[in-house]
Amino acid sequence: MTGFGQADGNTLDAGLARTGDGVLHVLWSRESTANSVLLHSAISANAKTVSGPDTVFTNANGGLNESAALVRTPDGLRAFFGATNQFDDALGTATAGPDGKTWSAAATASLGGNQSKPVYAAGGIAAALAPNGTFVSAWGASAPGGEGFHIGLGPTDPDGSLGGGTVIDPGVGVDSQSSAAFVAGNLLDQDGVMVLPVSPAGARVTIPNSGAEQLQHPVGITGRIGKPGVFVAYTQGTNEFLGKPAIYRVDTGKSIRLSNRKGGEDVCVAAAPGGRLWAFWKDGDTIFATRSNTSATKFGRVVSLRALKKGTTIYELNGEGSRGPLDVLALVDPPNAEIANWHQRILPGLNLSAKEGKNGKVTFAVSDAGAALSGAKVKLKGDGSKTTGGKGTAKFALSPGRYTVTASKSGYAADSLKLRVR
């Protein structure tokens, strides 16, 4: 859905934002011999069509940073980006209505790095809008001390430091209840993922056991929809290829490991309705995803899908989950095709379990992230089906033998198991 006949760069970081009509908007850059262009595409609410690309900004005399941030605003969309010659040391910004078709002339949002650092060469650009109406933007370092953040859109206001050293791949997360804003990033000159409170200001923290940081992958960080808390996605361990995916809650300092399987690369997090979170990551040519309960204390069954063809290289992941399902954008290099972003919608996974009693009586339980799920259909091949009640269970009296059982419900990915009744 990006690319459009030309290969994208394998370090492209697309920005995502969803408007109230359910459309998912994508911000991405394209380099050519003639100029560099920042582009907008849109995925329809039903995820069946892609429109665009629409031109956001053209840089005829220089290049664009391959990372750009897109933020939903009350009036539409706002883009944040870096460009040589026109915005050498600055963070550029442009706005559009909710359809993303027509963009304003680019303006300066920040002079960048305390008015002295080249944002066009930044190691990542991120932004978010707090509920109180304040924009928070951040950029990674092109050199030690070059990273920074900016509160608001006043270019003459001073920028803040991310705490020294070399911080790259920033993400910005905002608490939906308090408007407290945080910047997370990878520490290039030491092992670990850092989190810094920027509004109000606070002390920088390095997440414990985060030495398997995923360099050149924007650190995933988000608040929740309608509930407090800010969460960071990261890889636990010391080896970036063998680490395990995890989620860190900033205010409590506690982490949840999402899988014990080695190979949790490019872990991302996205807010979902009701205070839930989506977490997702890659391993080889496969994407894994799981959704939490409403208190974000437990995650459900991990579902997986292969990105296009076997042997596809996945360079980057991003995603948005505010409508319920997870819309994943993966920058992929399939066999015999050009590098481009590929879109897939993922549903949360049901979990089906069985408990056998006496005389062939079996109770099947269906749950979603540990919570009992009513209205799910439990089907036994050759033995009919039943619907789970308020406790999320369905009971069958079965003769001795082997059974294949499936649980399904609209809006969920089905689960199945094999059972032997003695």
Span 395-407, pLDDT tens digits: 999 999 999 999 9
Contact assessment for residue 148 and residue 117, using Cβ atoms and an 8 Å cutoff: yes
* Band (336; pLDDT cuts 50, 70, 90): confident
- The pLDDT, as a whole number, for residue 4 is 65
Q: Is 209 helix (H, G, I), strand (E, B) or coil?
A: coil
For residues 326-330, average pLDDT: 97
Residue 246 has pLDDT above 60, yes or no: yes
Sole residue written with tokens 């009744």: 421
- The pLDDT, as a whole number, for residue 88 is 67
* Band (163; pLDDT cuts 50, 70, 90): confident
DSSP 201: B
Task: Give the integer Cα–Cα distance in Å for 376 and 369.
Answer: 14
- The pLDDT, as a whole number, for residue 128 is 98
The dihedral through the CA atoms of 249, 213, 287, 2 has a sign that is positive
Q: Is 335 helix (H, G, I), strand (E, B) or coil?
A: coil
- pLDDT tens sequence across 365-395: 999 999 999 999 999 987 899 999 999 999 9
- The pLDDT, as a whole number, for residue 54 is 95
Amino acid letter at 256? I
Q: Is 248 helix (H, G, I), strand (E, B) or coil?
A: strand
Task: Give the integer Cα–Cα distance in Å for 339 and 46.
Answer: 25
- The pLDDT, as a whole number, for residue 115 is 46
Strands (DSSP E) contained in 106-166 are 107-110, 125-129, 135-139, 148-151
Question: Which pTM does this prediction carry?
Answer: 0.94
Phi, psi of 168 (to 5 degrees): -125, 170
- The pLDDT, as a whole number, for residue 53 is 94
> Topology of domain 15-223+237-258, per CATH?
Neuraminidase (2.120.10)
Contact assessment for residue 267 and residue 287, using Cβ atoms and an 8 Å cutoff: no
Contact assessment for residue 331 and residue 307, using Cβ atoms and an 8 Å cutoff: no
Domain with CATH 2.120.10.10 in the chain: 15-223+237-258
CA angle 189, 125, 254 (to 5 degrees): 65
Task: Give the integer Cα–Cα distance in Å for 246 and 261.
Answer: 11
pLDDT > 70 in the chain, percent? 96
The token pair at 413 is 């990915």
Contact assessment for residue 141 and residue 123, using Cβ atoms and an 8 Å cutoff: yes
Q: Which residues pair with 355 in a beta bridge?
A: 363
Mean pLDDT of the chain: 93
CB contact burial 8-44 (16+ within 10 A = b; e otherwise): beeebbbbbbbbeeebbbbbbbbbeeeebbbbbbbbe
- The pLDDT, as a whole number, for residue 41 is 96
- pLDDT tens sequence across 270-282: 999 999 999 999 9
DSSP 187: E
Measure CA 250 to chain center.
Answer: 17
For the domain made up of 351-421, the CATH class stated in words is mainly beta
pLDDT greater at residue 60 or residue 314: 314
- pLDDT tens sequence across 120-150: 788 999 999 999 999 999 999 877 778 899 9
For residues 166-186, average pLDDT: 97
Task: Give the integer Cα–Cα distance in Å for 64 and 324.
Answer: 33
Domain with CATH 2.60.40.10 in the chain: 351-421
Contact assessment for residue 312 and residue 334, using Cβ atoms and an 8 Å cutoff: yes
- The pLDDT, as a whole number, for residue 33 is 62
Calculate the CA dihedral of residues 318, 323, 325, 328 and round it to 10 degrees: -20
Task: Give the integer Cα–Cα distance in Å for 69 and 174.
Answer: 15
Calculate the CA dihedral of residues 326, 96, 130, 152 and round it to 10 degrees: 140
For residues 275-303, average pLDDT: 97
- pLDDT tens sequence across 62-117: 889 999 999 999 999 999 999 888 776 788 999 999 999 999 999 999 876 544 56
For residues 336-351, average pLDDT: 93
Contact assessment for residue 339 and residue 9, using Cβ atoms and an 8 Å cutoff: yes
CB atoms under 10 Å from CB of 163, counted, come to 16
pLDDT > 90 in the chain, percent? 79
